[in-house]
Amino acid sequence: MNCLVVLAHPLDNSLCRYLSEETISHLMSKGYNVEIKDLYQDGFDPVLSKQERKSYYENEFDVNELNEEIAQLKNTESLVLIFPTWWFGFPAILKGWFDRVWAPGHAYNHASDLGAITPCLSNLKEVKVITTLGAPWWVDIFVLWKPVNRIIRIALLGACAKKCKFKMLSFYKSENASKSRVARFVDKMRACF
């Protein structure tokens, strides 16, 4: 299965980077054909250009700067997102990747009457997410109702890849992570992924 791992963390020594290495190793051992997109390392520009935004409702979305990224997404059967949750949302670089790469005519189609959009990512069979949070689990779940989970599951996948399977693992209180807690989380990832 063609697998794209998208990493969105600026630090080389981050917990996210470590978890991405463990996840990639695990997926490769299971026979996945893994391609890595490290948004910071690749210098991905998250800013939707004026021309790209103008082309959102034209006959064709302006892919001049995004041909490779869009082709990569359309070739992906298994997508793995690894990122920190900051302020209960995505890092800006990952949000920009969604804004620019999950584009009309490629990830979804606009309805002619500007009604509900229709999905285009029928190639996407599964999406797996690993995120780290500084907050405890109960704040994410009971206070904020898991906003990142809802956005990915309902807004992105619900609009662009309705039939794909979704699994999300959250590592809470990540700033106070012991080696044993990290090891248990990696074991959980291996069991789930």
| pLDDT score of 113 | 86
Q: Is the dihedral of CA 121, 124, 125, 131 positive or negative?
A: negative
Contacts (Cβ under 8 Å, ≥6 apart) of 81: 6, 8, 94, 127, 128, 129, 130, 131, 152
H/E stretch holding 97 reads helix 92-101
Q: Which pTM was predicted?
A: 0.96
What does the pLDDT look like over 83-110, one tens digit per residue? 999 999 999 999 999 999 999 999 999 9
Statement: residue 26 has pLDDT above 90: yes
Q: State the total domains in the chain.
A: 1
Tell me the CATH number at 144.
Answer: 3.40.50.360
What does the pLDDT look like over 127-146, one tens digit per residue? 999 999 999 999 999 999 99
For residue 132, give Cα distances in angstroms to 70, 81, 92, 103, 118: 26, 11, 15, 27, 31
Domain hosting 56: range is 2-192
Question: What percentage of the chain has pLDDT greater than the value 90?
Answer: 95
